[in-house]
Homo-oligomer: A and B are copies of this chain.
Amino acid sequence: MSDKRFYGLQAPLTVRTAALATGAALVHGNDTLNLRDVAALEMAGSDEITFARGARHLKGLSSLSAGLCFCTKDLKDTLIALGTQAVAVCPRPDEAFNTLASQLVLPRQAHFTETSISPDAHLGKNVQIGAGACIGPDAHIGDGSIIGPSAVIGPGCVLGQYCVIGAGAVIGFTIMGDAVDIRPGAVLGEAGLGVVSGELGIVSTAHFGIVHLGDAVRIGANSTVDRAVFGQTRIGARSKLDNLVQISHNVQIGDDCVLASFCGIAGSSILGNDVMMGGRAGVADHIKVGTGVRIAAAAAVMKNIPAGEVWGGHPARPLRRYMREQIALRDLAAKKGASE
């Protein structure tokens, strides 16, 4: 279900129309069923469109209630067995979904052509707004918050009390707590990088989610936090991100984490509480990093890390192992040099 503060629904369409519009073959379900919204497969309700990415995507699911699911032929029986209301088969379900969903659910946008501060924005007490800042309709700015010059707060965004938004920061599709500190030039809530291959080349993946920041989160200058494809990209309370950090769609960061400059977390990865990452450390997509983990600077994390461990290297492994290996390599090369 998309968040109605940020997304507007178009007129609903029937399962039959959805299949026809995408050229998919309806192999199961009541074709007069009305579809109103979109959601991730495991979250989709009976009036929502979704798609299945592959057999692994279905692993571990015990029931589904999606209104219409696009899938490849091999998945249809499983989807029907799991309870999907209607199933449509096509060679590229992600493309079919992407095209249809983009027409059914529209992100709210403000172009600020006439006025920079919408008369429908809600400004708390003692809010200070810098020259040239833009605030969209239905945005809520908490008491005592400060919006820097030329910053942009998109439609529907919610800022708690005493937030500080730096000059030129661009915030969209975002809900944040109190005392959040966004440094200049940070960009929050853009659609992440995702592509869908179609007949005419690649197109960008449509996004239907938001960004959620806990109290006292700090986002450094020129850092970027993408909104989720579905649901929320989340950063927990008091977590501090340095300058030039990238947080991809659907990432979940716990409380009290510290990420130094150039850290990057790829899509859907999860960090527990109290994780510390040195500069330029990266985490690949769909990785879990446990509570209290320390990741050395310049590490490239490509596996899950259990709670409390210290990892480093490229690819990252336990830091002591990495250091032993570097010593072994040095000795190997020295021995070889000596014997030549």
Q: Which residues of A contact B (CB under 8 A)?
A: 111-113, 115-116, 128-132, 134, 146, 148-150, 152, 166-168, 170, 181, 183-185, 187, 190, 192-193, 195, 201-204, 216, 218, 220-222, 224, 226, 237-238, 240-244, 246, 248, 255-256, 258, 260-262, 264, 266, 278-280, 282, 284, 297-298, 300, 302, 313-315, 317, 321, 324-333, 336-337
Contacts and interface: CB of A to CB of B under 8 A. Distances in A.
A170 B221 CA distance: 10
A117 to B, nearest CB: 9
Given A193-B220, A222-B224, 20 more contacts: A111-B148, A113-B128, A113-B130, A115-B131, A134-B149, A149-B152, A166-B170, A167-B170, A181-B204, A193-B241, A201-B216, A202-B240, A202-B258, A246-B262, A278-B284, A279-B284, A280-B280, A282-B298, A298-B315, A321-B330
A125 to B, nearest CB: 14
A258 B195 CA distance: 8
7 contacts: A113-B128, A152-B167, A166-B190, A181-B204, A220-B224, A282-B297, A313-B314
A315 B120 CA distance: 54
Contact of A112 (B130, B238, B240): B130
Contacts of A218: 193, 204
B201 A190 contact: no
Nearest to A262: B264
Nearest to A221: B187
Contacts of A128: 111, 113
